[in-house]
């Protein structure tokens, strides 16, 4: 307790400075420049949980770094594991050397995770690695020195939530914040040199608020004005998708977790944090390592969309990084040594990809475009979105000589690949290949915009009887050509002149031409038709992140798979489904089935109950059937169809109430956080 008293005076002096002054866009861009250029970072989750390694009392746990919470380990018992933490094999220089070999530009290290254990010599608390364990060394000090020597930026992860501190929840939370959390942050930001990033987590607890987050953001920026702070400092992020919906929320960048955003979905800088296997902390039983190719493709995709890739490793209790993790970072580093120009310091293009296997980035000055190919193209590479210049040069990164190219009659650029390169052993790298094109650019026009009466920029849509579609030209003088059968449009395709009325399913593709030459990427929109019901309405709107195909997507006959990112799923965060269906006429109904998703690793649970009510007039409803579920630990993601068998009944209106469990249960790693309910198909028999 004495340690706490010693720092109170310092905190008062810092707070006297007031909130940080408003920052201009120019100043913000200057502060973010190194981070935007870096693209690739290493996340390191390490703490006393590595002693357990995902095993508690001889049983494999579902958790690694969350094991204290997941397995209900009392603080006093967890302390005994912390006392055993003696990572004698820890070598900061070896870790940083691995990061360097992996092409990493910055490291984010867990200074304090949710278990409350400090990985530095904290004067605020004795619950730290230098005082509480036999190791007696300051891990952060050694990492800071190694990073400085290697030219790698170091950042700190810090959890607002604390399972160990007795004041970290409830009415004494303010005391914990002011006498413990802030003094520890002051130690981190005054004792270890220039810190690149402060990466907060655990902000979802009820005791935290956006106002506290904004004040903490200012507090941190006063201590280190150039530091970059993630959006988990406040309450702004939208679930695991991690992006702030409110532009006024505190934080400099969004933090999607285990997820790569779609292009154009982010209104702020973002960084995808992801694991190399399935766990953040060290877990003995987790050998599900992602392939080097998959990790490299992730990096390429993220860079093409303008984000950063923060890839995690979890060292063991000895301080050693698992060899499988080391191998993957070294393989990424080999690829970056050849192709780093297409990643570092690049910026996205309006059209980040062409087809499934080509990703684009550009140099900061826009004079060089990089086309990264995820699969070897064969004897030639064809690129549609090219405006060739006579003096344009094309190179395969890793080779000095320029490649031969020409423009064909279809407006494509055809790059000829030498016979020598048809043998994989003769190529400069593995996994993906980068073509550097100078003196050229992507099409000068944006893609045509496909819209309906209710939505601008349609990608997928459902309608009942008919749908009217408009297509906007991207520039004056451009002529839009389109198809309705999913084929790529050309100058021989129909020219758009007036709204198109659809009465059947269609896949519209549209492209802009000028003087017979393609000047834009192709826009695609899919339209499906359903006539089985007259109308479906939702009492509460789904999350803006997971709207599926809209309300009619619940009765379109398409059932989503086990991936909740699929656009078929409609997601509700903390809310329940309340759907009313108008069948259009009296019909005899024998059963209703509801397709739900269960993926507890992503906070998605089955409904706690489902009720079916029927009506003949739409005003008076009578409960006809009910199903009650039970929430318990489950394994992998799965879709579940819940059948409500009812007596044959004639009705016109159906009302389905699927109750969200509300909050994650106590045994779950997200205990107390909002639970998700994902619904796709309502099947009426």
In a domain, 444, yes or no: no
Alpha helices in 305-382 (DSSP H): 323-339
Q: Domain containing 553 — which CATH number?
A: 2.60.120.1190
Residue 154, C-beta contacts closer than 8 angstroms, at least 6 positions apart: 106, 107, 109, 143, 144, 147, 148, 192, 193, 195, 196
Please return the burial class of 414, using the count of CB atoms within 10 Å of its CB with bins 0-12, 13-18 and 19+: middle
404-454 pLDDT, tens per residue? Answer: 999 887 778 899 999 999 999 999 999 999 999 997 666 667 789 999 987
Q: Are residues 225 and 317 in the same domain?
A: yes
Nearest one of 235, 239, 245 to 215, comparing CA atoms: 235
Q: Domain containing 368 — which CATH number?
A: 2.60.40.1180
118-177 pLDDT, tens per residue? Answer: 999 999 999 999 999 999 999 999 999 999 999 999 999 999 999 999 999 999 999 999
CA 173 – CA 170 distance, rounded (Å): 6
CA 399 – CA 415 distance, rounded (Å): 15
Q: Are residues 505 and 521 in the same domain?
A: yes
Residue where one domain finishes, among candidates 438, 473, 501: 438
Tell how far CA 651 is from the center of its chain: 44
Mean pLDDT of 188-198: 98
Residue 653 per-residue DSSP state: E
Q: Are residues 475 and 552 in the same domain?
A: no
CA 118 – CA 122 distance, rounded (Å): 7
DSSP SS3 for 402: coil
Q: What are phi and psi of 120, to 5 degrees?
A: -145, 175
Taking the CB of residue 279, how many other CB atoms lie within 10 A of it? 21
CA 261 – CA 237 distance, rounded (Å): 14
Which pTM value belongs to this model?
0.77
Q: Are residues 95 and 227 in the same domain?
A: yes
Q: Are residues 221 and 191 in the same domain?
A: yes
Strands across the sheet containing 106-112: 228-229, 197-201, 153-159, 106-112, 40-44, 308-313, 271-275
Q: Domain containing 293 — which CATH number?
A: 3.20.20.80
- Residue 559 near residue 660 (C-beta atoms within 8 A): no
For the cut 50, the answer to whether the pLDDT of residue 217 exceeds it is yes
Taking the CB of residue 52, how many other CB atoms lie within 10 A of it? 25
Q: Are residues 76 and 27 in the same domain?
A: yes
Tell how far CA 426 is from the center of its chain: 36
Q: Are residues 129 and 262 in the same domain?
A: yes
Helix (H) and strand (E) counts in the chain: 12, 32
CA 324 – CA 320 distance, rounded (Å): 11
Pick from 144-158, 345-359, 505-519, 633-647: least confident = 633-647
Residue 264, C-beta contacts closer than 8 angstroms, at least 6 positions apart: none
Residue 258, C-beta contacts closer than 8 angstroms, at least 6 positions apart: 240, 273, 274, 275, 602
- Both tokens of residue 90? 């820890």
Residue where one domain finishes, among candidates 409, 438, 467: 438
Residue 601 or residue 37, greater confidence:
37
Residue where one domain finishes, among candidates 509, 529, 549: 529
Tell how far CA 109 is from the center of its chain: 19
Residue 124, C-beta contacts closer than 8 angstroms, at least 6 positions apart: 3, 4, 7, 118, 180, 183, 184, 187
Q: How confident is the model at residue 638 (pLDDT cuts 50, 70, 90)?
A: low
CA 92 – CA 148 distance, rounded (Å): 11
For the cut 70, the answer to whether the pLDDT of residue 73 exceeds it is yes
Taking the CB of residue 630, how many other CB atoms lie within 10 A of it? 6
- Both tokens of residue 72? 């209900």
In a domain, 138, yes or no: yes
For the cut 50, the answer to whether the pLDDT of residue 14 exceeds it is no
Q: Are residues 580 and 507 in the same domain?
A: no
Torsion sign (Cα): 413, 414, 420, 421: positive
Number of domains in the chain: 4
Q: Can you give the residue range of the structural domain that contains 430?
A: 353-438
In a domain, 346, yes or no: no
CA 527 – CA 48 distance, rounded (Å): 53
pLDDT at 204: 92
Q: How confident is the model at residue 17 (pLDDT cuts 50, 70, 90)?
A: very low
Q: Are residues 374 and 484 in the same domain?
A: no
The mean of the pLDDT values for the chain is 89
DSSP SS3 for 671: coil
Q: Are residues 523 and 539 in the same domain?
A: no
H helix or E strand, kind and range, residue 211: helix 210-223
């Amino acid at each position: 307790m004495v340690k706490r008293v010693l720092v109170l005076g310092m905190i008062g002096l810092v707070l006297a400075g007031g909130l940080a002054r408003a920052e201009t866009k120019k100043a913000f861009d200057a502060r973010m420049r190194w981070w935007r250029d870096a693209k690739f970072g290493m996340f390191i989750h390490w703490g006393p949980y590595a002693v357990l390694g995902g095993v508690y009392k001889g049983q494999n746990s579902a958790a690694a770094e969350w094991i204290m919470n997941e397995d209900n380990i009392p603080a006093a018992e967890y302390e005994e594991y912390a006392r055993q933490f003696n990572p004698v094999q820890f070598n900061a220089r070896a870790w940083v050397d691995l990061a360097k070999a992996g092409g990493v530009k910055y490291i984010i290290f867990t200074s304090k995770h949710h278990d409350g254990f400090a990985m530095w010599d904290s004067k605020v608390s004795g619950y730290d690695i230098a005082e509480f364990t036999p190791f007696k060394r300051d891990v952060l000090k050694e990492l800071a020195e190694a990073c400085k020597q290697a030219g790698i930026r170091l950042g700190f992860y810090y959890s607002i939530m604390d399972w160990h501190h007795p004041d970290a929840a409830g009415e004494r939370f303010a005391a914990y914040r002011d006498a413990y959390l802030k003094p520890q942050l002051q130690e981190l930001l005054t004792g270890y040199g220039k810190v690149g990033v402060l990466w907060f987590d655990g902000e979802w607890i009820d005791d935290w608020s956006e106002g506290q987050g904004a004040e903490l953001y200012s507090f941190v920026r006063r201590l280190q004005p150039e530091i970059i702070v993630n959006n988990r400092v406040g309450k702004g992020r939208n679930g695991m998708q991690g992006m702030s919906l409110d532009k006024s929320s505190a934080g400099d960048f969004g933090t999607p977790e285990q997820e790569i955003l779609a292009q154009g979905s982010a209104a702020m800088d973002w960084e995808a944090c992801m694991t190399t296997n399935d766990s953040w902390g060290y877990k003995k039983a987790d050998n599900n390592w992602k392939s080097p190719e998959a990790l490299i493709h992730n990096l390429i995709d993220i860079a093409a969309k303008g984000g950063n890739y923060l890839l995690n490793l979890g060292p063991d209790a000895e301080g050693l990084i698992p060899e499988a993790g080391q191998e993957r970072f070294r393989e990424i580093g080999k690829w970056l040594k050849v192709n780093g120009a297409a990643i570092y310091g690049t910026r996205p293009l309006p059209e980040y990809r062409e087809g499934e296997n080509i990703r684009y980035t550009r140099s900061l000055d826009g004079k060089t475009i990089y086309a990264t190919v995820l699969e070897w193209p064969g004897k030639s590479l064809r690129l549609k979105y090219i405006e060739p210049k006579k003096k344009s040069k094309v190179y395969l990164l890793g080779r000095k000589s320029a490649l031969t190219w020409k423009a064909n009659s279809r407006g494509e650029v055809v790059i000829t690949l030498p016979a020598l390169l048809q043998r994989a052993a003769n190529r400069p790298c593995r996994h993906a290949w980068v073509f550097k094109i100078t003196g050229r650019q992507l099409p000068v026009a944006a893609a045509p915009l496909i819209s309906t009466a209710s939505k601008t920029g349609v990608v997928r849509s459902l309608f009942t009887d008919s749908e009217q579609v408009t297509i906007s030209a991207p520039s004056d003088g451009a002529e839009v050509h389109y198809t309705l059968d999913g084929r790529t449009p050309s100058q021989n395709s129909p020219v758009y002149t007036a709204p198109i009325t659809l009465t059947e399913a269609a896949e519209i593709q549209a492209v802009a031409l000028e003087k017979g030459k393609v000047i834009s990427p192709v826009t695609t929109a899919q339209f499906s038709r359903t006539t089985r019901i007259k109308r479906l309405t939702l009492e509460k709107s789904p999350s803006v992140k997971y709207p599926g195909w809209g309300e009619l997507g619940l009765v379109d006959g398409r059932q989503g798979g086990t991936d909740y990112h699929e656009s078929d799923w409609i997601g509700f965060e903390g809310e329940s489904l309340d759907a009313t269906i108008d069948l259009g006429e009296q019909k005899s109904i024998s059963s209703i089935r509801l397709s739900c998703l269960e993926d507890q690793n992503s906070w998605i649970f089955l409904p706690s109950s489902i009720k079916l009510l029927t009506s003949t007039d739409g005003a008076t409803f009578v409960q006809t059937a009910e199903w009650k579920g039970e929430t318990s630990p489950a394994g992998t993601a799965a879709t579940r169809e819940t059948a409500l068998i009812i007596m044959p009944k004639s009705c016109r209106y159906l009302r389905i109430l699927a109750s969200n469990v509300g909050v994650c249960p106590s045994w779950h790693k997200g205990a107390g956080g909002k639970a998700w309910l994902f619904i796709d198909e309502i099947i009426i028999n």
